[in-house]
Structure 1
Amino acid sequence: MPIHPSALISDEAQIDPTADIGPYVIIEGPVRIAANCRIAAHAQIIGDTHLSENTLIGRAAIIGENPQDIGFDPNTPSGVRIGKNNTIREHVTIHRGSKPDSHTTLGDGNFLMATSHLGHDVILGDKNIIANAVLLAGHVQVGNGTFIGGGAVFHQFLRIGDGCVIQGNGSFSKDIPHFCAAQRINRVTGLNVIGLRRAGFSPDDRKSLKALFDLIYRQGHNLTQALTAARQQTWPEHAEKFLQFLEAHSKKGICRLSQDSSDEE
């Protein structure tokens, strides 16, 4: 087992023999580390944290620390669950769940760049790119295949859909629907058309999404009126997914359309 002699490893930890544990790493409590994981120098993995195969934890990252919640009881049993093939770079922080038996959760194939933060109870899907210094507050949900630019910040309990592209330094306290481009403060600019093309969406798929986006955002309806109008017709799979996101219960509401928006942004 390639464990550097300066690493501090709890007797409770379960570490696959193929994992690589670097110098001055701290593994504290019942941590589980699966095959071919690499923990770089000075990282700390704490408590009920599980890392699945082929995951990299960068230098000085801290995974599994208590939530930043002044009412949190440190005796609460909770943890972090991280899927396969994730890259979590230096100084990233991921906090454990805030309620009994809850978990902050990452899917597979995500890339978290340096100094990004996932607060307690965040749910991150698969193949997302989270750029430097992005801050996700507690209970934020992110879908799959979304890119978040550096320095963007997100209030607690909001939802971010699949296939979104979000401008760096944006500030968000409202939900961002599937396949949207978002920027500034709680604004969408249109569909993530370039991302849709790269993801293999057909011209018909993109056409139906554009028609639904226009109905929701550009025809002068409020959201209730727009959803009622949208349900007067049948939509193909991806547009239906977009519509169901809008129909689902939201604690925060939906980002509004920027006045200088374009579907090609």
Structure 2
Amino acid sequence: MSIHPTAIVSPKATIGRDVSIGAYSIVEDDVKIGKNTSVGNHNTICSGTTIGDNCKIYHNNSIGEVPQDLKYDGEKTKTIIGNNVIIREFVTINRGTVAYGKTVVGDNTLLMATTHIAHDCIVGNNVIMANIATLGGHVEIGDWCNIGGGAMIHQFVKIGKQSLIGGGFSAKQDVPPFIIGAGTPLRFVGINKVGLERRGFSDQDRALIKKAYRTFFKSKLNRGDALVKIKTELSQTQEIKEIIEFIESSNRGII
């Protein structure tokens, strides 16, 4: 363990093996930091935060601070950061509220500089958030998503797994899995072909996903009838079932 003499680490924090904490960083009570994690300079890690193993936290970050929610009244809530997470400079991650109780960032996620994750967000595994990307409260981001630089995700929006949101655009409604969303207002511009190839999806898998979304977004059918057609005319693979379930469970509507 290596703790810079200017760092302030609470004796009530739990620090794992081979952790390093840089100059002027503050680690408050009830913080847990897993083994082999590196905390750079000028970071504040607030009470109720758990950080996993093998994380790399650069400089000038605020993790687990109280939410920017006027209803918050000092309740004890949590911030949970997974394993192998990279947090670049000037990132802000707010703790949860009583609504969910915690904010979660999954394993193997990369948060580039100046990204913001608001209270009660659930960010999946293997997610990339590029510079200045912003999540409002209660946002859910699926595994393997890519949120482009400067993108803004409205509170309560859900982004389905393996989707990509183009840089500088805003999502005000739910974005189903496996697609690219871009434009103003945000719209479907195609399946996330490159991302799916990287994840090992076959040509047949991608073609079926593409057919489902062309039916839903591009046909002359209304969306209810389009969904019926997807259910009745396409092979019900795991991916097609996930698309149907996501659309049917949406509370904010689909882009």
Name the TM-score, length of structure 2 as normaliser.
0.96
CA contact under 8 A between 1:77 and 1:101: conserved in structure 2? no
* Pair 1:231–1:101, CA change in 2 (3 A): closer
Map of 1:245 onto structure 2: 246
Point out 4+ residue stretches in structure 1 off by more than 3 angstroms.
none
- In structure 1, the partner of 2:167 is 168
**1:101: Cα distance to partner?**
6.8
Distance 1:151 1:101, change over 3 A: closer
How far the C-alpha of 1:126 sits from its partner, in A, is: 0.7
Matched residue SS, 2:2: coil
Query: SS where residue 63 of structure 2 aligns?
Result: strand
In structure 2, relative to structure 1, the CA distance for the partners of 1:12 and 1:100 (3 Å cut) is farther
Q: Measure, in 1, the Cα distance between the counterparts of 2:173 and 2:34.
A: 36
Give the conservation status (yes or no) of the 8 Å contact 2:96–2:102. yes
What is residue 201 of structure 1 aligned with on the other side?
201
The residue number in structure 1 matching 2:115 is: 116
Q: Which residue of 2 aligns with 1:94?
A: 93
Post-superposition Cα deviations, 1:171-198, rounded to whole Å, max 9, x if no partner, equal: 1111111011111222121111122122
Equivalent residue, structure 2, for 1:68: 68
Aligned positions of 1:114-193 closer than 5 A:
114-184=113-183, 185-193=185-193
Give the whole-Å Cα distance in 2 for the aligned partners of 1:237 and 1:101.
Answer: 29
Q: Are 2:46 and 1:23 equivalent residues in the alignment?
A: no
In structure 1, the partner of 2:49 is 49
Q: Does 1:236 align with 2:237?
A: yes
Deviations 1:154-182 (A, max 9, x none): 11000001111211100111111101111
TM-score (norm 1): 0.92
Identical columns (%) = 38
User: What secondary structure, in the 3-state scheme, does the structure 1 residue paired with 2:24 have?
Assistant: coil
Quote the Cα distance in structure 2 between the aligned partners of 1:80 and 1:56: 16
1:12 maps to amino acid: K
Distance 2:44 2:227 in 1: 47
Residue 251 of structure 1 and its aligned partner are, at CA, apart by: 2.5
Superimposed CA distance per residue, residues 39-70 of structure 1 (whole angstroms, 9 cap, x where no aligned partner): 10000100100001001122010000011011
Distance in 2 (alpha carbons) for counterparts of 1:241 and 1:221:
21
SS at match of 1:231: helix
CA distance, structure 2, for counterparts of residue 140 and residue 124 of structure 1: 8
1:212 matched to which residue of 2?
Answer: 212
Q: 2:188·2:217 contact (CA, 8 Å) conserved in 1?
A: no
CA RMSD in angstroms, aligned pairs only:
1.2
Residues 78 and 100, structure 1, Cα contact 8 Å, conserved in 2: no
Q: Any idea what SS the aligned residue of 2:241 has?
A: helix
* C-alpha contact 2:100 2:120 (8 A) present in aligned 1: no
Question: Could you list the per-position Cα deviations for residues 210-262 of structure 1 after superposition, in whole angstroms to 9, with x for gaps in the alignment?
Answer: 111111111122222222222224421222212221111x221111xxxxxxx
**Residue 38 of structure 2: aligned partner:** 38
Specify every segment of 5 or more residues in structure 1 that has no aligned partner in the other structure, as ranges.
256-265
Amino acid at match of 2:161: D
User: 1:80 matched to which residue of 2?
Assistant: 79
Partners of 2:10 and 2:152 lie apart in 1 by 34
For residue 219 of structure 2, give the secondary structure of its aligned residue in structure 1: coil
What is the alpha-carbon distance in structure 1 between the residues aligned to residue 96 and residue 154 of structure 2? 16
Which moves more between the two structures, 10-19 or 92-101? Answer: 92-101
Worse-superposed segment, 76-85 or 95-104: 95-104
Which residue is equivalent to 1:58? Answer: 58
